Amino acid sequence: MKIEQKEKGCQWSKKCGGCSYQGMPYEKQCRIKQRTVEELLKGICKVKPIMAMEEPYYYRNKAHAVFDRDRKGKIIAGIYQEGTHKVVPVEGCVIEDETCSAVIATVKRLLPSFKIKVYDEDTGYGLLRHVLVRKSFANNQLMVVLVTASPVFPSKNHFVKALREVHPDITTVVQNVNGRQTSAVLGQKENILYGKGYIEDVLCGFTFRISSRAFYQVNPVQTEKLYNKAMELAEFKGGEMVLDAYCGVGTIGLIASRYCRQVVGVELNPEAVKDALFNRSRNKAENVRIFQGDASEVMLDLAADGQRFDVVFMDPPRSGSTEEFITAVADSGVKRVIYISCNPQTLARDLQIFGKMGYRPNEAWPVDMFPWTDAVETVVALDRKKT
Ligand code: SAH
């Protein structure tokens, strides 16, 4: 089944639009990504060969499905067709973990016998909107998030029990309530229906708690390669003060804490901050502090307080960083910056700003975190030019 599907490629890709490189040999995908980064960073720095994935299938530790009914009234689970609110049924995605996909299929199969209605966006009638499944590859734990339109969920305990009977690896089930007419999948309110409400994964020897709403890298195999490269580029000697900006659940900062004196992590999302604080205790990383707030604002405050950093890791979202952040980094005399980017366009823009502030980028290292899609991750080390 697995081989067959891999060879056939994805039959839903045209409508789904999630993987724009479906049908293209993997080597060619990597060549295009290499060229994209090289073109965007032309005149800025050299680009090393992309770190490709050995087995570029079923790599995502997360699956998401929106639930709806087709014209005949049959329940379907899939994704929104690009740019629309039309649901395209997808069964057996070739990039998502197969167990995660199987859980979604089981939810779909069980719904009628529990008389759980799927939500209708037009009429506002029905309960189940989305299902999100996250998996820890290291611990083989599964988290299921059932997104419902209202907090009232009849027969929830029986439903969860039936789901766990089919998938004993499910360690937690969370109900997330999203009653709003919005394109955001998750709402603010959550009830834990089973287990602890989070799963734990292991990366580079550290254990990370991941809750439903926190950002966590989706490709753990390539993430370890990326983080190892980032640590190598930092060239730690042991006494450094380190900033981990845009730290998420604290992954990069915690791993770095093993090699340096102290780490400060900064993250905007309060749920991710909670996870980061928990992860600090869980890993007994006493030399790590975490602040909640906007990276630029916190950086300015820290600089004003006289806090100095030797190394700054920054891993901003697709929109990149800001001139304020980069200026504050430069003004406080940071010697080395390790920039991890999921968008080479904003990376190129920010590297130009760093250039004006007296930083010189060394080589860029592209990493293929998202095979079959056009997304590419890049890590670059910058050094402050000697004056
Ligand atoms: N370094 C982490 C997370 C990177 S994703 C990891 O490797 O897993 C980017 C993170 O930046 C997200 O957790 C997001 O919530 C956070 N973020 C977005 N805008 C921010 C801002 N203005 N200030 C601080 N953090 C921000």
Sign, Cα dihedral of 54, 347, 186, 291 = positive
Residue 307 Cα to ligand 1 midpoint, Å, equals 21
* Confidence (pLDDT) at 214: 86
- pTM, to two decimals: 0.92
Name the residue of 203, 208, 215 to mutate for ligand 1: max ligand atoms within 8 A of Cβ.
Answer: 215
- Residue tagged active-site, from 93, 247, 260, 342: 342
Domain ranges of the chain: 26-55+219-384, 62-201
> Is any ligand 1 atom within 6 A of the Cβ of residue 269?
yes
Q: 3-state class of 276 per DSSP?
A: helix
Q: Whose CA is nearest to atom 21 of ligand 1?
A: 294
Which 3 state secondary structure label does DSSP give 293? Answer: coil
- Ligand 1: does its nearest atom lie under 6 Å from the Cβ of 252? yes
Is the CB of 295 within 6 Å of ligand 1? yes
Ligand 1 touching residue 324 (CB < 6 A): no
Rg of the Cα trace of the chain?
22
Q: Do the domains at 26-55+219-384 and 62-201 have one common CATH topology?
A: no
Residue-wise pLDDT tens digits, 255-312: 999 999 999 999 999 999 999 999 999 999 999 999 999 999 999 999 889 999 999 9
Active site residue 342: yes
Predicted local confidence at residue 53, as pLDDT: 97
pLDDT at 59: 97
Structure tokens at 290: 């975490």
Nearest residue to 317 via CA among 347, 338, 361:
347
Q: Is 201 in the pocket of ligand 1 (CB under 6 A)?
A: no
Q: What token pair was written down for 359?
A: 């930083």
Low-confidence residues of the chain: pLDDT under 50: 1, 3
Cα Dmax for the chain: 72
pLDDT at 160: 98
Q: Do the beta carbons of residue 197 and residue 211 sit within 8 Å?
A: yes
Quote the pLDDT of residue 7: 60
On whether the 62-201 domain is CATH 2.40.50.1070, my answer is yes
| 67 Cα: distance to centroid of ligand 1 (angstroms) | 29
Q: Tell me, in angstroms, the distance from the centre of ligand 1 to residue 52's CA.
A: 24
Q: Pseudo-torsion of CA 333, 236, 248, 163, nearest 10°?
A: 180
CATH: 3.30.70.580, 3.40.228.10, 3.40.50.150, 3.40.50.300. Which one for 26-55+219-384?
3.40.50.150
Task: State the pLDDT at residue 84.
Answer: 84
Task: Determine the distance separating the centroid of ligand 1 and the alpha carbon of 8, expressed in angstroms.
Answer: 36
The residue written with tokens 């209605």 in the block is 117
What are the φ/ψ torsions at residue 347 (nearest 5 degrees)?
A: -60, -50
